[in-house]
Structure 1
Amino acid sequence: MKGSNTTLRLIVGVLFLALGGVAVFKAWPLLFPKAAVTAPVDPACDLRAGPCTTKMPGGGKVSFGIEPRTIPLVKPLDLKVTLEGIDASAVEIDFSGVDMNMGFNRPKLSKASKGEFAGGGTLPVCVREAMEWEAKVMLHTDRGLVTAPYRFVTVKPGVSLQ
């Protein structure tokens, strides 16, 4: 009787491990999509000053802006992407902490007009006074996934960036 309980527990454990492996295998492309083209981060970009524009390798431009420009945490954000010389069927913004995992946060934008996509998003609360983020603009194109990363910092109310 005791041996059958151990065998049953072993079988259940192996089944849970296999199920977990299948879940990771299926979720991997969603969590870590392979980009056909990725632009370098522009260190001169300041999304608090206004939209930033990136010249893409292979041609075209991507402009990205966030409102309000203070980029508050846990408050609605207006996101806008403008494309020039690039035709995208869909646009997403993948928000991630640069040096801290903040979970999956990838709002999809809606096509507003030719070359313009807009939508909303929210950044989660963070325990740090200041947090560096990357907003990766993900363009779904005929060439495959094209990405343009933008870096910015959020600060808790009452904390200065100086």
Structure 2
Amino acid sequence: MSAAARNRGAVTKKYALVMLSALVLGAVLLFPGFYQSARQASEVRLPGEVLRAPACDLAQAPCVASHAGLSVTLSVDSAKFRSYEPLTFSVKVSGMEAESARIEFEGVEMFMGVNELPLLPASGGGFSGSTSLPGHAYPMTWRARVQLMQADSLVESEFLFDLK
């Protein structure tokens, strides 16, 4: 084999390696974008993606997250507002006819496991459900993500509250 043929073979191998690397890198970088686009096509998203409630004390009064004619109100009706006690959460919605609702709870300062609460339709409209949340030796902050479904659309709102 001549030196020119060996050089062409080496160049071809390098070219193939560069092309393969570019293809793999492109797939890694582009696939999440395609996945995200397909996922978002079936979700209703508002500016900022999530309706966030301003700071409020859920133990004292309902909290409201709203934007562009849509409002979600979260309230708790329980004798004792603390960890390991049954808490009844209620959600009222204005500006949307939600077919179903659920709440995902997550500890802000630390992971407290998966805590999901499917809500049932309540009299007078809205949804409600009861759960007990785990606790810690000190008061901690929880994030409640209220997820409302209408046909194939999802609207999510977020509420922060402290629980002792």
Quick one: percent identity of the two aligned structures?
Answer: 30
1:87 to 90, 93, 97: 97
Distance in 2, Cα, partners of 1:114 & 1:154: 28
Distance in 1, Cα, partners of 2:52 & 2:152: 18
Distance in 2, Cα, partners of 1:69 & 1:40: 26
How much does 1:80 deviate?
Answer: 0.5
1:124 is aligned with what amino acid?
P
Residue 162 (structure 2) aligns with? 153
Contact 1:41 1:149 in 2 (8 A): yes
Q: TM-score, normalised by structure 2?
A: 0.65
Distance in 2, Cα, partners of 1:50 & 1:135: 15
1:52 is aligned with what amino acid?
C
3-state SS, counterpart of residue 145 of structure 1? strand
Residue 3 (structure 2) aligns with? none
Distance in 1, Cα, partners of 2:118 & 2:44: 19
Distance in 2, Cα, partners of 1:125 & 1:142: 35
Greater displacement, 114-123 / 67-76:
67-76
1:67 aligns with 2:73: no
Q: Return 5+ residue gaps in structure 1 as ranges.
A: 1-32, 156-162
Contact 1:135 1:149 in 2 (8 A): yes
Residue 138 (structure 1) aligns with? 147
How much does 1:69 deviate?
Answer: 6.7
1:47 aligns with 2:58: yes
1:42 is aligned with what amino acid?
P
2:148 is aligned with what amino acid?
L
- More helix per residue: 2
3-state SS, counterpart of residue 106 of structure 1? strand
Q: Return 5+ residue gaps in structure 2 as ranges.
A: 1-38
1:80 is aligned with what amino acid?
S
How much does 1:141 deviate?
Answer: 1.9
1:40 is aligned with what amino acid?
R
Give the number of equivalent residue pairs. Answer: 120
Contact 1:79 1:118 in 2 (8 A): yes
Distance in 2, Cα, partners of 1:62 & 1:70: 23
Distance in 2, Cα, partners of 1:144 & 1:99: 30
Distance in 1, Cα, partners of 2:52 & 2:134: 25
Gap change, CA 1:143 and 1:40, over 3 Å in 2: farther
2:150 is aligned with what amino acid?
T
Runs of 4+ aligned structure 1 residues displaced above 6 Å come to none
How much does 1:75 deviate?
Answer: 1.2
2:117 is aligned with what amino acid?
P
- Partner deviation per Cα, 1:71-128 (whole Å, 9 max, x = no partner): 21111111100111111111111110012111111111100146311111110132x3
3-state SS, counterpart of residue 86 of structure 1? coil
